[in-house]
Amino acid sequence: MSKNLNYNTDVVKHYVRYYGWIKPFKTILNFVDSEHKKGRRDTKCKYLTFCAAQAIDVFLLENLKYLYRNEETNRLENVYFCENDEESFSIIQKLIGSSEQGFFGDFKAIILQDENEQLQNVDDPFDEPETAEEREKLRLIELKKGLLAKFPFDVINLDFYGNFFPNSEKRYSESFQTYKSILEHQKRDNVSKKFLMYLTVYTPMFNEPRFVNPDVVTAFERVLLGNLAYQEFEQAFDEKYGHTDPREIEVFEKFILGFTKQVLFKETYRLGWKPKILNIIAYDRVHNDSNTQYKISTFVVSYERDESLDNFDDFDGDVYEEIEEDYKTQLFDIVTNKPEYVPNEVDIPKEVHESLQATVAYRNEFLKTIGLYKPELFD
């Protein structure tokens, strides 16, 4: 899973944006605009993205007039990004029009910092961190404070560019911790009533340590076996696969179903949000080093704040009684109708190709206005 793909021509990825992202973004945008006009919030729609240097998603949304660029400052208002490659960061901040709206570093490393850790005596001007590691840690802590001040966001385009459950980490991985941390911070100041996330996840096709922590796949199997207690789930599973043994389905399908239950349902409810899975879109990729196939899955999820869920201290059972019917309905729909698979490139509709070309042209025209356009810039 690489950030170095040529997204200018990656029509497979753009299929996900075109059919999966645009409509729900507009829904959230309309909601936020309505809340703003009614005086219930001070800010307009806030977007956090991990856009890579080409920033296709940003210019797609700007071209649709979903994002607003200030004509006087050339700055995209309320658009924030995180990037850990220095050259890409420099490019993106020029595309966004602001260095203050960017966070230079690995997002997981930033948000998982303990911002209360004291690395220096603030009352002593001569007390400075002695090692490069301590200085970097201090920088990340300060970055986190700045990032948290921007929460909550209305749309989060969360792409870790890597394995959510690597074998080098325990099941409660850094990516898992990051997801939960985001949901906690989205409750900041109790401003956000609902928000949207595009969660893009590396999806293994083989249950091997080099592709995924095998303990996670085993845990997902147990979860799905437990869900057979729901008649709706058992019936839908049998109709789709011709049997009721989750251990016998493809690894990537097992991963998608298990991830949906354990992460997008269980942990989300636990943290006081009601998730609605709008879509799950999957497509094929190939590891460059081994020519081994894997999939990328994008979960398009709408979150609605439910403060009553905060009163539950224990989540050892499958689901709370109060949300069980909604949970079962969504679970049935996911087994029956999802994921949606992106067609082969030759079969992708013409309108998707045209949208990507228009987005690249729109971005390039902006680059020309600020004197940065070069044909080889993103090669």
> Which of 93-97, 241-245, 322-326 comes out lowest in average pLDDT?
322-326
Q: Which two tokens stand for residue 261?
A: 């239950």
**Percent residues over pLDDT 70 in the chain:** 92
Are 149 and 185 in contact by the 8 Å Cβ rule? The answer is no
Cα angle 72-158-302, degrees, rounded to a multiple of 5: 95
Rounded-to-integer distance, Cα 212 and Cα 205, Å: 9
Pairing of strands 79-83, 102-104: parallel
In this prediction the pTM is 0.93
Between 2 and 20, residue with greater pLDDT: 20
Query: Is 132 a residue whose pLDDT tops 90?
Result: no
Residue percentage of the chain with pLDDT more than 90: 72
| pLDDT, the chain, mean | 90
Compute the average pLDDT of residues 279-302: 91
- Asked if 187 contacts 152 with a C-beta cutoff of 8 angstroms, the reply is yes
Q: Can you list the alpha helix ranges (DSSP code H) found in 228-341?
A: 231-241, 251-259, 268-270, 324-337
The string over 41-72, giving b where at least 16 C-beta atoms fall within 10 Å of a residue's C-beta and e elsewhere, is: eeebbbbbbbbbbbbbbbbbbbbeebbebeee
pLDDT recorded at residue 110: 96
Q: What is the sign, positive or negative, of the torsion defined by CA atoms of 243, 246, 250, 253? A: positive
Rounded CA gap, 295 and 283, in Å? 5
Task: Give the three-class secondary structure for 301.
Answer: strand
Q: Does the pLDDT value for residue 375 go beyond 50?
A: yes
